[in-house]
Amino acid sequence: MEYTELADYPIHSGTVTEWLPAATSADWRRDPRPLSTNHEAHLAFSSHQTDDTPNCWIGTAFRISGPLDTAAFTQALRLWVGRHEAYRTTARAVESDTGRTFERYCVAAESVTIDSRRYGRPRGGTEIHDHIEKFFATQISPFSWPHLVVTTVEPNISTAEQEWFTVVFAADHSVMDAYTQVFAIAELTEIYRAVESGREPQLPPTASYVDYCVGEREYAAALTADHSDIARWRDYLTADSALPGVPRFPLPVTGTETVGTQPNQQASLSLWLLDAAETESFTGNAKAQGGSQTSAILAAAKIALGRLGNSGSTRYLMPMHTRTSLDYAAAAGWFVGLMPVDDALGEATTFAAAVADTAKALKVNKDLIGYPYARVAELLGVTQPPEFVISFVDGRYLPGAAAWTEHERALRSTMRSDTEVYLWINRTVDGLNLSARFPANEIAAASIHAFIAEFSTVLRDVAATGETSVFLGRLPGRAGAAEEVA
């Protein structure tokens, strides 16, 4: 499965229907359970965005075989929204003399209905893309419910053997994370099939993300500026300067474009680095040398950056899920913490040594994942969002993963930033995929493509032989890769 912007997903021609959860104002109840720290920080950040800043969202696209049964799909969406309290909660602003705060409101599952709007005229793929993009941009907001909306596209086909329809949904990040994006495919499909067949959906029980937020806020409130783990975060965030600040991508990404009133829209790409057999070989060779899949992949990234001249440590923030209980394994919500990684190439001259160092770097700060990063940033006075992020997810064992095709896709909205670099490395049954977003300028493009070239080389070397060249600076005997790409 790839992780891309909607513009990179090939939407077919057909007929579009919009689906929105609905509830009357009388059905909402003030809920004493607090917002998560992530949610509250998300609201605060969004409050400072300009009116022309597009709303951000994450979502998923996938196909369901057979013709669209609108009555069954309507009921399936009601059951889906009813299953997850995260989809039935919102935040409302409260203004006072001391400033703006937010309160949680919830609506009962039985009070939710589904409104739909079908556009009868068949449309081409480009027109459908533009329609869905606008629909998501105008409907998804951290400040107004619903925070989850759905579209379906019925293709222009005539043979029964080819009947299927595409589902594309989007949500505000406050109610959804990456795991929610992907397990929703099998979940919603199963609910729809159950409704069609008149049976109960065969799904595991799930707890409420809203309940999870209670413990998360208690954990965050216990943190103080003099807490020993905050001191560890302070040491990490001040490694490059006297004042706390987030790590940045170690290759040049700053362009010479005129700075406007807001950052430029970022560039985006997705590509497959290894096929399934190559990925299995890479992992097997790494484990034979004492490494794990995760430490080996991240060590390969470190080696690639070292070849391109990164003589310092590779420093980034790594998202990790915080589903600490099996009760939350299938819960929709924003269960994400950040782990600070400081991974020096050091004296390593072999891949095994580099992997061992990476494993140590990952282990030393793993216990910091549980602390909400928004609270850490608040205590340390860090105002900028994360700028260099690397994520790795092995999705092969998620529900329904074996059935994923090129039509199943995790999606994200466009983003604006002149400095941020995000790398999502995903293993699926098809191999190893890299998705990235980065500043849209020639300097950043050269750096990112140079990194990808070296990263791919390291991965393929290890997959083929179990070893790769480990060194700092320009590649021997030729110009630096950044110069070659430029």
Ranking 50-64, 330-344, 415-429, 445-459 by mean pLDDT, the lowest is: 50-64
Asked if 356 contacts 290 with a C-beta cutoff of 8 angstroms, the reply is yes
For the stretch 153-163, pLDDT in tens is 999 875 555 68
243 CB-contact burial (10 Å; exposed 0-12 / middle 13-18 / buried 19+): exposed
pLDDT of residue 485: 35
Mean pLDDT within 379-390: 95
- Give the global pTM: 0.94
pLDDT of residue 53: 63
Q: Is 309 left (phi over 0), alpha (psi -120 to 50) or beta?
A: left
- The token pair at 95 is 């203004």
Backbone φ, ψ for residue 204 (5° rounding): -70, 150
Three-class DSSP category at 416: strand
Of 26, 317, 14, the C-alpha closest to 166 is: 14
Q: Is the pLDDT of residue 225 over 90?
A: yes
pLDDT of residue 320: 97
How far is it, in rounded angstroms, from Cα 302 to Cα 313? 8
| DSSP at 192 | H
Q: Is the pLDDT of residue 51 over 70?
A: no
pLDDT of residue 243: 78
How far is it, in rounded angstroms, from Cα 337 to Cα 363? 15
Per the listing, tokens 């409130």 go with 221
Mean pLDDT within 476-486: 38
Of 184, 208, 164, 204, the C-alpha closest to 76 is: 184
pLDDT of residue 486: 29
pLDDT of residue 268: 98
For the stretch 146-184, pLDDT in tens is 999 999 999 987 555 568 999 999 999 999 999 999 999
pLDDT of residue 121: 85
How far is it, in rounded angstroms, from Cα 20 to Cα 77? 9
pLDDT of residue 482: 40
How far is it, in rounded angstroms, from Cα 188 to Cα 87? 14
Q: Is the pLDDT of residue 260 over 70?
A: no
How far is it, in rounded angstroms, from Cα 398 to Cα 367? 24
pLDDT of residue 484: 35
Three-class DSSP category at 463: helix
- The token pair at 444 is 């950043």
Asked if 43 contacts 143 with a C-beta cutoff of 8 angstroms, the reply is yes
Q: Please, which pLDDT band fits residue 476 given cuts at 50, 70 and 90? A: very low
How far is it, in rounded angstroms, from Cα 252 to Cα 446? 9
358 CB-contact burial (10 Å; exposed 0-12 / middle 13-18 / buried 19+): buried
Per the listing, tokens 């707890």 go with 207
Backbone φ, ψ for residue 404 (5° rounding): -65, 140
Asked if 32 contacts 211 with a C-beta cutoff of 8 angstroms, the reply is no
Mean pLDDT within 251-270: 81
Ranking 242-246, 314-318, 378-382 by mean pLDDT, the lowest is: 242-246
Ranking 155-169, 177-191, 287-301, 305-319 by mean pLDDT, the lowest is: 155-169
Q: Is the pLDDT of residue 483 over 50?
A: no
pLDDT of residue 472: 82
Q: What percent of the chain has pLDDT over 70?
A: 94
The mean predicted confidence, pLDDT, of the chain is 93
Q: Is the pLDDT of residue 480 over 80?
A: no
Per the listing, tokens 């994923």 go with 404
- The token pair at 486 is 């430029």
What is the DSSP annotation of 283-328?
HHHHHHTT--HHHHHHHHHHHHHHHTT--S-EEEEEEEE---SGGG
Residue 299 half-sphere exposure toward CB, CA atoms < 13 A: 35
| DSSP at 122 | E
Q: How far is CA 340 from CA 142, 306, 366, 387, in A?
A: 27, 19, 8, 12
Q: Which helix (H) or strand (E) holds 181?
A: helix 178-197
* Structural domains of the chain in order of their starting residue, each with its CATH number: 2-212 (3.30.559.10), 226-253+263-465 (3.30.559.30)
Of 231, 236, 248, the C-alpha closest to 340 is: 236
pLDDT of residue 324: 86
Q: Is the pLDDT of residue 449 over 60?
A: yes
pLDDT of residue 263: 86
Q: Please, which pLDDT band fits residue 54 given cuts at 50, 70 and 90? A: low
- Output the 3-class SS for 373-396: HHHHHHHHCCCCCCCEEEEEEECC
Q: Is the pLDDT of residue 481 over 50?
A: no
- The arrangement of strands across the sheet holding 99-107 comes to 28-31, 99-107, 89-96
